[in-house]
A = this chain, B = another copy of it.
Amino acid sequence: MHKFTEKTLKTEKIFEGKVVHLQVDEVELPNGKTSKREIIKHPGAVAILAVTDQNKIILVEQFRKPMDRAMIEIPAGKLEPGEEPEITAVRELEEETGYECDALEHITSFYTAPGFADEILHLYLAKGLKKKEHPKGADEDEFVELMEVTLEEAVKLVEQQKICDAKTAYAIQYLQLKEAKKN
């Protein structure tokens, strides 16, 4: 066991929603004192860095209520209970963009906000994209607008902070690094 382990003394369940659960844990600290931890439980998510044969990155613009603004992001979505992340990635790519892909490569996985939430995000690179003739549509409460941009355009959007989403900034930087290593 890690020497800094915080032992749970009590868990108070505050809220169980469609997307997040909130609980407050009373913990015993390494020095024997107690403290409280506010914890968001989340099912986990995937994000897809989808690059077309013309080397365009597919972005989706959608309204994000927490910030009360539209945001430009790579396609992403929540895991269904028990679902393999690759399956979620294929589904979300189709639902949000109308594309299917020949190849799906795992780039990395990371926790998005480990200070207060357990959300893990699995990031994939999708290539060999083809528009599906009759794609499944987005969820009925999702409204997204597609954009296809070059890497240079995407980098500019980050620099101008028109893209200001962690996973999307990471994904664009990933492509930049890949390009830089080629040269």
Q: Is the interface of A mostly helix, strand, loop or mixed?
A: mixed
B108 pairs with A141, CB closer than 8 A: no
Q: Copy number in this complex? A: 2
B166 pairs with A110, CB closer than 8 A: yes
**Bound-state Cα–Cα, A73 to B110, Å:** 11
A-B pairs with beta carbons under 8 Å apart, 26 shown = A4-B61, A5-B70, A14-B22, A15-B15, A15-B38, A18-B38, A20-B22, A22-B22, A25-B65, A27-B65, A33-B140, A40-B40, A42-B113, A64-B115, A67-B114, A73-B114, A108-B158, A113-B113, A114-B165, A116-B119, A117-B117, A166-B166, A173-B173, A173-B174, A173-B177, A180-B181
B166 pairs with A121, CB closer than 8 A: yes
> In whole Å, how far is A94's beta carbon from the nearest beta carbon of chain B?
19
Of residues 25 through 74 on chain A, the ones whose CB sits less than 8 Å from some CB of chain B are 25, 27, 29-31, 33, 35-42, 45, 61-67, 69-71, 73
